[in-house]
């Protein structure tokens, strides 16, 4: 895309949506090189939807349970999906071994049915990127293949821990419970695993002896807002390069000449926050 254009970003939320709010606020202040073109939630009660409505951003709900069990969207899935290959791609060291393959495929088919709804709802907005902001579901290879075109990653997530430490749903709590002296936040591309895609940006914050889990979460969230918006600005400016060494994991390099200054600012913010 033209580096001067705004990125078209769709945001997926499951809950409060404070990351979404931070993007909307920065957008309004002219500090975000991205336009939030649509918001989708798997949870009709998500406050993130209210935030989107208040900002005049189109929003949609896809209720996985309803889509999975019937209703108006039970038309057949594409017949040429290779479910066995999808399962192999999704397999992580902790996933699914206790569940029989046919049952895993049933689950995957349900997931794909809901994801197809999301894809359909997002299509008119033509998003350049799909950003997960507190979206508490894994995405299947079907969804990722749809957006990750031309060999590039198009789905981005924010995670409340310094990956690869503490993947999963409780990044702040796990960081605190382990007695970590530093916590972190990570923005990464999404692949088939759980919080396992290439890291784009990370920031760290201290955990002081007197801190409780709420203090840790508060300090981390303040950083999340900074880092996520900065990553969108880097993506818009074409400053996120991916090195693909043969036989090794893809590795992201930020090419912004101001990179060190920005990371130092995040550190200052964390030390004083």
3-state helix, strand, coil in the chain (%, to 5): 40, 20, 40
Out of 26, 90, 116, 159, the residue judged to bind ligand GAR by CB under 6 A: 159
Interacting residue with ligand GAR among 130, 158, 203, 236 (CB under 6 A): 158
- Taking residue 254's Cβ as centre, other Cβ atoms within 10 Å add up to 18
| Size of site (CB under 6 A) for ligand GAR | 16
Please give the full DSSP string across 43-104, using - where no structure is assigned. -TT-HHHHHHHHTT--EEE--HHHHHH-GGG-SPPPTT--HHHHHHHH--TTSSTTS-HHHH
Residue closer to ligand GAR by CB (options 225, 234) is 225
DSSP strand pairing (251-254 vs 199-206): unpaired
Which helix (H) or strand (E) covers residue 120, if one does?
A: helix 101-122
CA distance 54 to 230: 23
Backbone angles phi, psi at 136, to 5 degrees: -95, 40
Please report whether residue 229 would count as binding ligand GAR according to CB under 6 A. Answer: no
- For ligand GAR, give the closer residue by CB, 17 or 27: 17
| Nearest-angstrom CA–CA distance, 22 and 226 | 8
The region of 17-25, 98-106, 122-130, 252-260 touching ligand GAR under the rule CB under 6 A is: 17-25
Nearer to ligand GAR, 47 or 125 (CB): 47
Burial class (CB in 10 A: 0-12, 13-18, 19+), 160: buried
Site residues for ligand GAR, 125-144, by CB under 6 A, read 133-134
Q: Assess whether 188 carries a catalytic annotation.
A: no
Beta bridge partners of 61: 41
d(CA 108, CA 22): 33
* Region near ligand GAR per CB under 6 A, out of 4-12, 78-86, 156-164, 196-204: 156-164
Query: Closest separation between CB of residue 3 and ligand GAR, Å?
Result: 27
Number of H helices and E strands in the chain, helices first, is: 9, 9
Q: Does 160 bind ligand GAR (CB under 6 A)?
A: yes
Looking at 10, 11, 12, 17, which residue binds ligand GAR (CB under 6 A)?
17
Q: Exactly one of 146, 159, 170, 178 is catalytic; which is it?
A: 159
Does position 224 interact with ligand GAR (CB under 6 A)? The reply is yes
Contact call for residue 171 and ligand GAR (CB under 6 A): yes
Using CB under 6 A as the criterion, what x/- string covers residues 232-261 for binding ligand GAR? ------------------------------
**Binding residues for ligand GAR, per CB under 6 A?**
13, 15-19, 48, 133-134, 158-160, 169, 171, 221, 224
Active site residues: 159
């Amino acid at each position: 895309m033209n580096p001067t254009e705004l990125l078209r970003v769709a945001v997926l939320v499951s809950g409060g949506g404070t990351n979404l709010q931070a993007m909307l606020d920065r957008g309004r202040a002219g500090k975000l090189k991205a336009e939030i073109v649509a918001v989708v939630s798997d949870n009709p009660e998500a406050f993130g939807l209210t935030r989107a409505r208040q900002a005049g951003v189109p929003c949609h709900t896809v209720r996985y349970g309803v889509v999975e069990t019937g209703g108006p969207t039970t038309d057949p899935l594409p017949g040429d999906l290779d479910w066995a290959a999808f399962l192999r791609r999704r397999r992580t060291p902790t996933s699914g071994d206790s569940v029989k393959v046919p049952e895993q495929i049933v689950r995957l088919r349900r997931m794909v049915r809901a994801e197809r709804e999301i894809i359909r709802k997002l299509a008119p907005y033509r998003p350049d990127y799909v950003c997960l902001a507190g979206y508490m579901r894994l995405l299947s290879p079907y969804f990722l293949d749809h957006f990750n075109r031309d060999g590039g990653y198009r789905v981005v997530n924010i995670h409340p821990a310094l990956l690869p430490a503490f993947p999963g749903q409780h990044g702040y709590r796990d960081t605190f419970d382990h007695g970590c002296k530093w916590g972190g936040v990570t923005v990464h591309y999404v692949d088939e695993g759980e919080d396992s895609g290439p890291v784009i940006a990370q920031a760290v914050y201290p955990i002081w002896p007197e801190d409780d889990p709420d203090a840790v979460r508060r300090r981390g969230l303040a950083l999340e807002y900074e880092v996520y918006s900065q990553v969108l600005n880097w993506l818009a400016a074409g400053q996120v390069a991916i090195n693909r060494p043969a036989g090794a994991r893809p590795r992201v390099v930020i090419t912004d000449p101001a990179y060190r200054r920005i990371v130092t600012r995040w550190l200052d913010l964390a030390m004083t926050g």
